[in-house]
């Protein structure tokens, strides 16, 4: 019942690396020339900012002054322990020099002061560039990539293998792929990665996603990808080890000034034009609601169009290949704090954001152990590769339109037969790509028992109580009980609808859908929200369903939004 792709052979060792010499990987080459890359990034950003300043009539002085103001406010109101020790003094010195330049320059003819402002701009750009550009340690990558499967497999057999042997007499060695399943057009992706630049665009539910995606990339033999990691994750020791050594470029979401954002954008463009495979979470951050992202961030996605245009202008044959991915869990470590934040931001009620579980390394380790011990699986689905305009591509990277014809994407950038820069035009292209990605996420998503379990229960509660969302979430949980017989009937209707969508190629289903509905419910109850102390759904002594945590139930319910299943309950 899966989508019509053949699943990857589920063992990391069965897929040889596409490029066997790690030093030849694009990200390794970038790291070995890190200082030269930074200098090039500084020059490009500096040149483009001066050009933009002239076009808009904005002074360099005002741009720097704005950055100084917001940086000093950030340092005062939102300091992190990982911030550079010299930060306060550094920005104070920048302010002094900027004030001095302003005093010495009563009019625009004072060239020494103007040059000082340009020097300050370049100095700030360099500091940001050095902070953003990551490091890729080849020895550390080898260590982690070899150690992770061994440790995971060992833990899997300690916690689960013994149980299987005791109850079922099954003595075989369990493998990673039995917990973490990958589907998608793997051979096509491997072929394209040799001659084009892959941009992997996954859904984002947990801070563990970066590690999961890294494993999924390695499993199918691709080189390591360049990816952005929130600087806040360096506060968590568990993630700091990986982020600082495995090529992640660092993103500080506290910094909103124009200089920082420009450096970040130019970094992405430059890395792509140099053929570095990249990973973006186009939702920008973890899904707070638990739903598949429906609104994507245009900023980083717009850099794909800049990079592709530059490649065409330079006669670079590399195409930017867009590769959607969905990551499917049945329980998420941060679910409780994420849904609280979503409800708080909705403006309908006042919710207090709880402690973010991802700030505690011990919780993360406990979560991983619980995942291994549970019957719950994880599904990772690669979508079909496409160009930045949403056309699917063949094994050679040729773009194919809806009529099955090969097309030249250079024509998208041409005006009067010349490739041009046109921001309004490219903004429309970026929005169109976002719309295509949202549809693709729904298509390649794999529905798991916990998803359909929670969806049916929450929709049935809305139907039977006749309450709106926020009235229901305020309702005492102890007074809510779902008749199991009624629930089973609606569950079967939702299941049948999903099976129909699957046959039409509009959604993926896990293997458990081949069993009967009762067994699917049992598996869902075992796994949905497993990490939460108060479970989203369980059976009571009467055999009916009750919830200990409505917010959590709502979070896991949201995973099936977008499939027009609501009408089943109307």
Residue 359 has pLDDT above 60, yes or no: no
Lowest model confidence (mean pLDDT) among 18-27, 329-338, 461-470, 480-489: 329-338
Residue 392 has pLDDT above 80, yes or no: yes
Strand partners, 7: 183
DSSP letters along 303-367, please? HHHHHHHHHHHTT----EEEEEEEEE-S--TTHHHHHHHHHHHTTSS--PPPP-GGG-HHHHHHH
Strands (E), 157-215: 180-183, 197-202
The pLDDT value recorded for residue 258 is 97
> Under a CB-based contact definition with an 8 Å cutoff, are residues 322 and 304 in contact?
yes
CA distances from 434 to 294, 431, 439, 440, 447 (A): 9, 5, 9, 10, 22
> Under a CB-based contact definition with an 8 Å cutoff, are residues 464 and 472 in contact?
no
The pLDDT value recorded for residue 60 is 94
Average pLDDT value for residue range 215-220: 89
Percent of the chain surpassing pLDDT 70: 83
Residue 372 has pLDDT above 60, yes or no: no
The pLDDT value recorded for residue 175 is 54
The pLDDT value recorded for residue 144 is 77
Residue 500 has pLDDT above 80, yes or no: yes
| Average predicted confidence (pLDDT) for the chain | 86
Q: Which helix (H) or strand (E) holds 263?
A: helix 258-273
Residue 220 has pLDDT above 90, yes or no: yes
Residue 374's pLDDT band (cuts 50, 70, 90): low
Average pLDDT value for residue range 158-184: 53
pLDDT digits (tens, 9 = 90+) for 255-292: 999 999 999 999 999 999 999 999 999 998 899 999 99
CA-based nearest residue to 441, from 292, 330, 289, 295: 292
Q: Which tokens in the block code for residue 11?
A: 């063992």
Classify residue 393 by its DSSP letter.
Answer: E
The pLDDT value recorded for residue 100 is 86
Q: Report the C-alpha gap between 113 and 104 in whole angstroms.
A: 6
The pLDDT value recorded for residue 171 is 45
The pLDDT value recorded for residue 215 is 84
Residue 462 has pLDDT above 80, yes or no: yes
Average pLDDT value for residue range 220-249: 82
Residue 196's pLDDT band (cuts 50, 70, 90): very high
The pLDDT value recorded for residue 167 is 36
Residue 76 has pLDDT above 80, yes or no: yes
The pLDDT value recorded for residue 111 is 58
Residue 110 has pLDDT above 60, yes or no: no
Average pLDDT value for residue range 493-507: 97
Q: Report the C-alpha gap between 185 and 323 in whole angstroms.
A: 11
Residue 148's pLDDT band (cuts 50, 70, 90): low
Residue 140's pLDDT band (cuts 50, 70, 90): confident
SS3 content of the chain, % helix, strand, coil (to 5): 55, 10, 35
Residue 179 has pLDDT above 80, yes or no: no
Residue 14's pLDDT band (cuts 50, 70, 90): low
Average pLDDT value for residue range 246-258: 92
pLDDT digits (tens, 9 = 90+) for 20-64: 999 999 999 999 999 999 999 999 999 999 999 999 999 999 999
Q: Which helix (H) or strand (E) holds 210?
A: helix 209-219
Q: Which domains does the chain have, with CATH numbers?
A: 12-25+137-443 (3.40.1130), 32-132 (no CATH), 446-569 (no CATH)
Residue 166 has pLDDT above 50, yes or no: no
Residue 548's pLDDT band (cuts 50, 70, 90): very high
Residue 324's pLDDT band (cuts 50, 70, 90): very high
């Amino acid at each position: 019942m899966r989508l019509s792709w053949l699943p990857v052979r589920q063992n990391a060792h069965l897929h040889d690396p596409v490029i066997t010499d790690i030093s030849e990987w694009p990200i390794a080459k970038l790291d070995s020339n890190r200082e030269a890359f930074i200098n090039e990034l500084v020059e490009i950003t500096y040149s483009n900012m001066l050009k933009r300043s002239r076009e808009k009539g904005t002074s360099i002085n005002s741009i720097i002054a704005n950055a100084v103001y917001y940086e000093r406010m950030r340092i005062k109101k939102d300091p992190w322990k990982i911030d550079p020790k010299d930060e306060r003094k550094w920005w104070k010195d920048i302010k002094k020099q900027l004030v001095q330049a302003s005093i010495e320059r009563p009019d625009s003819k004072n060239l020494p002061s103007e040059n000082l402002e340009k020097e300050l701009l370049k100095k700030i750009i360099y500091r940001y560039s050095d902070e953003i550009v990551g490091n890729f340690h080849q020895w550390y990558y080898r260590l982690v990539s070899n150690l992770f499967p061994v440790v995971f497999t060992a833990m899997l057999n300690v916690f689960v293998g013994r149980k299987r042997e005791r109850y079922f007499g099954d003595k075989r060695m369990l493998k990673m792929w039995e917990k973490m399943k990958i589907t998608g057009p793997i051979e096509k992706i491997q072929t394209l990665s040799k001659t084009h630049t892959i941009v992997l665009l996954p859904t984002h539910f947990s801070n563990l996603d970066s590690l999961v995606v890294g494993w999924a990339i390695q499993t199918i033999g691709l080189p390591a990808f360049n990816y952005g990691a929130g600087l806040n994750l360096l506060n968590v020791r568990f993630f700091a080890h990986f982020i600082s050594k495995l090529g992640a470029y660092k993103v500080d979401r506290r910094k909103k000034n124009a200089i920082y954002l420009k450096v970040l954008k130019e970094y992405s463009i430059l890395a792509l034009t140099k053929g570095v495979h990249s990973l973006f979470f186009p939702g920008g951050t973890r899904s707070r609601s638990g739903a598949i992202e429906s609104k994507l961030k245009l900023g980083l996605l717009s850099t794909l169009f800049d990079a592709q245009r530059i490649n065409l202008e330079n006669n670079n044959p590399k195409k930017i290949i867009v590769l959607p991915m969905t990551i499917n869990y049945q329980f998420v470590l941060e679910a409780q704090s994420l849904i609280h934040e979503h409800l708080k931001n909705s403006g309908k009620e006042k919710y207090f954001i709880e402690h973010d579980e991802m700030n505690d390394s011990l919780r993360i380790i406990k979560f991983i152990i619980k995942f291994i011990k549970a019957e719950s699986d994880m599904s990772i689905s690669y979508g079909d590769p496409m160009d930045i305009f949403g056309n699917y591509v063949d094994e050679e990277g040729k773009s194919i339109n809806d009529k099955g014809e090969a097309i030249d994407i250079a024509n998208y950038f041409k005006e009067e037969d010349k490739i041009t820069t046109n921001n309004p035009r490219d903004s429309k292209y970026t929005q169109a790509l976002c719309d295509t990605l949202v549809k693709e996420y729904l298509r390649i998503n794999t529905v798991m028992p916990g998803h359909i379990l929670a969806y049916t229960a929450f929709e049935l509660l809305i139907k039977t109580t006749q309450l709106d969302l926020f009235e229901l979430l305020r309702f005492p949980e102890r007074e809510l009980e779902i008749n199991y017989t009624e629930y089973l009937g609606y569950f079967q209707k939702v299941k049948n609808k999903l099976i129909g969508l699957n046959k039409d190629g509009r959604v993926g289903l896990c293997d458990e859908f081949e069993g009967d509905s009762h067994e699917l419910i049992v598996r869902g109850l075992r796994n949905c929200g497993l990490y939460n102390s108060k479970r989203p759904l369980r059976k009571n002594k009467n055999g009916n369903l009750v919830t200990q945590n409505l917010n959590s139930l709502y979070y896991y319910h949201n995973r099936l939004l977008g499939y027009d299943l609501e009408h089943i309950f109307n």
